[in-house]
Amino acid sequence: MALLDIHVLGSPILRQETVRVDSITPELRRLVDNMFDTMHAAKGIGLAAPQVGRRESLAVVETDDRRLVVINPEIVLVEGKIRGEEGCLSIPEVYADVERAARVIVRAQDIDLQWYEVEASELLGRCLQHEIDHLHGKMFTDRLSLLKRRSAMKLWDEEKFQYPKLLRVLPVGDLPPERDAASAD
């Protein structure tokens, strides 16, 4: 297990369209495990492949009741609108209210490339929409009004100097304790 460095806003890979996943390799399974570990260490509820410097259409999501590997996802139904606060592991310390669909149905493949559908609202629905945005090069700040985006970017201008190579390196001490023994991977 390993913690991955997180690309922060300004890193070009966050703006690229991802590539469809057609086969699952042992390396990709390890990537997914490492993405879960990294997400936990960073205290997030979702993490998309571009955030760890990868091009695959792949994200991991974990809320209280669901733990999902989300591969090649598409939103097949949206319903209603709701505003709620969002942050992003790639824009630390910046939070803002974002309007999202109140309810979505997402079709995606799991780690064995089996298709599944998940109906989601509230936190899980918001998280899925946020992560799927990442897979299309979109950040939550893109969805803010001009004025709110400006103030978010102003805050980020003060924060971003902590990430000179546009990488957020998590302290090793943040590795979940149960994983320490397996760090040989």
* Closest of 107, 26, 125, 121 to residue 71, by C-alpha: 107
**Count of residues that interact with Ni ion, criterion CB under 5 A:** 1
Sheet holding 103-109, edge to edge: 46-48, 58-62, 67-79, 103-109, 115-121
- In the bound state with Ni ion, the residue whose beta carbon lies nearer, of 15 and 24, is 15
Q: How far is the CB of 67 from Ni ion (least distance, A)?
A: 17
Residue 128 as a binder of Ni ion (CB under 5 A): the answer is no
Using CB under 5 A as the binding rule, whether residue 88 contacts Ni ion is answered as yes
Q: Which among 11, 2, 6 has a CA at the least distance from the CA of 31? A: 2
Cβ atoms 27, 21 nearer than 8 A: no
Interacting span for Ni ion (CB under 5 A) from 5-13, 16-24, 29-37, 82-90 = 82-90
Least spacing, CB of residue 10 vs Ni ion, in Å: 14
Binding mask 26-65 for Ni ion (x = CB under 5 A): ----------------------------------------
Smallest distance from the beta carbon of 130 to Ni ion, in angstroms? 5
Report in angstroms how near the CB of residue 88 gets to Ni ion at its nearest: 3
Q: List the catalytic residues.
A: 131
Task: Quote the CA–CA distance of 98 and 84 in Å, as a whole number.
Answer: 6
| Residues at the site binding Ni ion, with contacts judged by CB under 5 A | 88
